[in-house]
Amino acid sequence: MIVGIPKEIKNNESRVGMTPAGVFELVKNKHTVYVQSNAGDGSGFLNDDYIEAGALILDTIDQVYALSEMIVKVKEPIDEEYAFIKEGQIVFTYFHFASSEPLTKAMIKAKAICIAYETVEDNEGTLPLLTPMSEVAGRLAIQQGAKYLEKPVKGRGVLLGGVPGVAPGKVLVLGAGVVGIQAAKMAAGLGAHVTIMDINMKRLRYVNDVMPPHVVTEFSNEFNIRKHIKTHDLIIGGVLLKGAKAPNLITRDMLKEMRPGTVIVDVAVDQGGCVETTKPTTHEDPVYIIDDVVHYCVANMPGAVPCTSTIALTNVTLPFVLKLANMGWKAACEKDAYLKKGLNIISGKVVYQEINEAFGW
């Protein structure tokens, strides 16, 4: 198969769809790999690294799309890329269709084979291709949240870890999934007081078993959320409904109950956000303020640490890329139940129910 790795052109996205190590494995399996010139620069991988691994370098993004049977990316295609995508072409990337009707309609029109990293699902119901980016985003959420709590950037002026004689900051984590647990782990490591909430008691029991005593668990409901937002300094939104739009756990009216300078980091922004006032931002302009509450809603958080993120992503996507390349998408999805759940749009038809539900189709 001919596999193409284009340069990501979304605002401030420095990751790349595959490392030279991934390219090496594809070439070893007799596939042709085209990499757009300088696609890996942001992640620390140069053209020469890809050439040494066996890739062929192309100058422009339209050449990569035109010559490739399968496109391996990181983020969903944006407007400028829609016209490049061909009928029957496999596009393997993060799509998050439920949060963008224009993107969904564009991919239906293109009649491509859209396989979404975020809906590939194993027998335990976990999402193996979303997990490493959720781990990065969960840890990064605390790093960014701690920064935006500083007064010069309109935060409350709170040091999360506190100091002797001064109580530590308080972190509220909504969702005890991968993002939530990683965020809680980082916040706890800084010495903050952490409350983590979920509706899944099995997850809360797990958190209670593995986290230190200053991480407390509480069942998630509106009453408890309203109680905690009044006293917590940093709120992390880490709620995920597989392939569907995230629920609004914090509504606009709740912002008035928070203290000025409270920071919200909504990691669920890719799926529409779990805060009603969430709107996607970029690393270039990451925050905005509503009712004196600082919102950090960058839609590609792991793009801030592309070296770590690209390696972590290729570690988990490569086995699936190899199956698709070796067998073709139909045979690969028939034989691999995990990969089959990644199918979102096939030749103009939406085949993932949650996408239809998101738009009332």
The rounded distance, in Å, linking the Cα atoms of 145 and 90 is 37
Instruction: Sort residue 273 into left (φ over 0), alpha (ψ -120 to 50) or beta.
Output: left
Q: Where are the beta strands (DSSP E) in 234-286?
A: 234-237, 263-266
Q: Where are the alpha helices (DSSP H) in the chain?
A: 20-28, 47-53, 61-67, 79-82, 101-110, 131-148, 178-190, 201-210, 222-229, 306-327, 329-335, 337-340, 353-359
| Closest to 137 (Cα-Cα) out of 181, 95, 171, 169 | 181
Are the beta carbons of 21 and 53 closer than 8 angstroms? yes
Are the beta carbons of 94 and 217 closer than 8 angstroms? no
The rounded distance, in Å, linking the Cα atoms of 25 and 7 is 20
| Sequence-ordered list of residues with C-beta below 8 angstroms from that of 360, at least 6 positions apart, any chain | none
CA atoms within a 13 Å half-sphere pointing along the CA-CB vector of 195:
18
User: How would DSSP label each residue in 44-59?
Assistant: T--HHHHHHHT-EEES
Cβ density class 137-167: b for 16+ within 10 Å, e for less:
bbbbbbebbbebbeeeebbbebbbeeeeeee
Q: At 36, is the secondary structure helix, strand, or coil?
A: strand
How far is residue 281 from each of residues 38, 287, 301, measured CA to CA in Å? 25, 7, 10
Catalytically annotated residue among 193, 232, 270, 295: 270
Catalytically annotated residue among 31, 96, 193, 232: 96
Active site residue 96: yes
Active site residue 79: no
Q: What is the DSSP secondary structure assignment for residue 99, as one 8-state letter?
A: G
The set of catalytic residues is 96, 270
